[in-house]
Structure formats: structure tokens, C-alpha cells
Amino acid sequence: AEPKVQAADLVERLATVHPQRYAGLDAGSLTRALKAHGVAVVQVFRDGSNRNGYTLDSLRRAAARGHTPGSAS
């Protein structure tokens, strides 16, 4: 597993794995949803591009607390 993922890549992966749940999700919406659950944005450098993203550790901690991207609670 990657230690970090860019927000745009995570949006694409979520939409691929769960298309009905995450169709139409964009990086900004994901960032707002994750921020509400304590997931901070970090800079992720991939393929010559430095963009906003998340650490796997922070996503796992949020998941352990029962939070999923795009959920209101």
C-alpha cells in the first residue's frame, strides 16, 4: 500500500470500487468530508506533481473511528 495518495487519485479509486456511492465526488468535496472527520491534507508528490492528498495512516484512523468519505456522520 502507498503511504500517501493524492486526493484526485483517491476520488478516482473510490468511484471505481463503489460507483453508486461515489459517483460525482470531486477532490474538493472529499477534502471537506475528510476534514470534518479529522483527516488533514498533506502534500503528495507523484509523477512530477505536488498536490493535496492524505496519508494512509490518517485514513485508517478515520475508518477505525467509523467514518467514511462522503458520510455526514
- Model confidence at 1, pLDDT cuts 50, 70, 90, reads confident
What's the rounded mean pLDDT across residues 61-65? Answer: 90
Cell numbers 503528495: residue: 44
HSE of 23, CA atoms in CB hemisphere, 13 A: 2
Tens digits of residue pLDDT in 15-44: 999 999 999 999 999 999 999 989 999 999
- Check if the beta carbon of residue 27 is closer than 8 Å to that of residue 14: no
Task: List Cα–Cα distances, 56 to 13, 20, 24, in angstroms.
Answer: 14, 23, 23
pTM, full prediction: 0.81
Distance CA 69, CA 45 (A): 22
Whole-number pLDDT of residue 73: 45
